[in-house]
Structure 1
Amino acid sequence: MTTTPRDLDRLAQRVKRHRMEQYPSRDAAAEAAGITRNTWKRVEEGQEVRESTYAKIDKALGWAIGSCIAITEGGNPVVAEPGSSDTSAVAQTPTAAMTEEEARRAVFEAARAKMPASTPIGALDAFGDELVEILRRAGVVRDGD
């Protein structure tokens, strides 16, 4: 199975440029995102971080969730609605699809970041199965590969 390589340098440039327009410092941006300064620095240096971190950066920069990933895949960020707490819109990439494995990895990262450690594995699996099916119907997850 092949996956699309991520262009983390492209993301680093876009995040840094946008951050400098919105925040007086890297510290301020990291605080707004709820991550450490060092984690924000890793992104601006083109190093990989957790999927959940990209979502936090999206929100801090006023982008729809999925924008950072879209940038790494050659797409562009989607601006979230001003004043809206609904950041559920997913940024579109040129292919606008991910493999089932990529979707399951994203579900795992989100669950690890947000769900209690006591959540049974079976419940996580059932949640993951349902979410992947929803994403497949929406055309975000492609079959095969």
Structure 2
Amino acid sequence: MPSDKAAAGAATGADAGAAGERPILGTPEEFPPRPRLRGGFLVYLVIALVVAVLAGGWGYVMLTATGNPLVRPQVITFDASAADSAEITFTVHKPADRAATCRLRALDTGHAEVGSRVIDVPAGKAELTLKERLKTTSQATAVYVDYCDLV
């Protein structure tokens, strides 16, 4: 007398053989035909326009997030040989009719700030070379212009 498990296995095996003769998901006759969507091209066109507007907006945000491109500082030289001060010579390129504010920073070997100073650059010249001294709390190894902004 066969056990219940053997009978269940035999039934499963018989179903598997029948399933091998036809597709797993069914035949096309078993499913009604899908209606054709009208305006499919229009849907893709709207999606493309939305993507183009989003990409253009992102491009604009990235373009304007670069800061103030009208003022460009350029370090010419710096001297950090003194233990309590550092000196920097730099040029500021800006519109001649506008004043600017620049922040100078001095760093030590661990990249910690050991001195800083905010200076005003007067209006009148488009290119101005400045030489400034910063007091430092310890020996500086680098001095640079952190930023310059129009006032």
TM-score scaled by length of structure 1: 0.23
Which structure's CA Rg is the greater one? 2
> Which protein, 1 or 2, shows the higher relative CO under an 8 Å CA cutoff with sep ≥ 6?
2
What TM-score results when the alignment is normalised by the length of structure 2? 0.22
Q: Which structure dedicates a bigger proportion of its chain to helix?
A: 1
